[in-house]
Amino acid sequence: MEISFDKIGTSPKPFNLVLNDVTFSGKLSKVDFNTVKLDGEINGDLKVCCDRCGKDFVTTIGQPIGLDLSRKEIQNKDNLDIIEFLDGTIDLEYILQSEIDSIKSLYHYCQKCDGIEDFEVEI
């Protein structure tokens, strides 16, 4: 799902994207000529690998996401809350995929290893 910077105004534009069992929803609004603010959340079930026994299992995720999207090159590369889209097109699937990758890169323990019935990943 791609949205052009030019199609986003100061009034928030809602979006909803589903990838496998994960839903990415929220609003996009223009902050200034080169910056769009993303205010959203990721919810759903994600297959991860247990870091203790190596078994795949499904974990429920639910987390807010706040990002600035810029079509200008960012000077401060340490700020991970800004993503560059230099061609002026926002790729929501790319954002969702990188959020999923960063969740997957965290430590996860399956129910058996964690010993908790209702296991949620807290970020």
Residue among 17, 82, 113, 121 that touches Zn ion (CB under 5 A): 113
Instruction: Identify which range of 14-22, 28-36, 78-86, 105-113 contacts Zn ion by CB under 5 A.
Output: 105-113
The nearer residue to Zn ion, 48 or 69, going by C-beta atoms, is 48
The tokens describing 9, both together, are 């105004």
The nearer residue to Zn ion, 6 or 51, going by C-beta atoms, is 51
| Contacts by residues 11-14 (CB-CB < 8 Å, ≥ 24 positions apart) | 12/39
Q: DSSP state, 19?
A: E
Amino acid (1-letter code) at residue 74: I
Using CB under 5 A as the binding rule, the residues of this chain from 36 to 95 that contact Zn ion are 50, 52-53
The β-bridge partners of 58 are 47
The nearer residue to Zn ion, 28 or 50, going by C-beta atoms, is 50
User: Cα 6 to chain center, whole Å?
Assistant: 22
Q: Which residues bind Zn ion (CB under 5 A)?
A: 50, 52-53, 110, 113
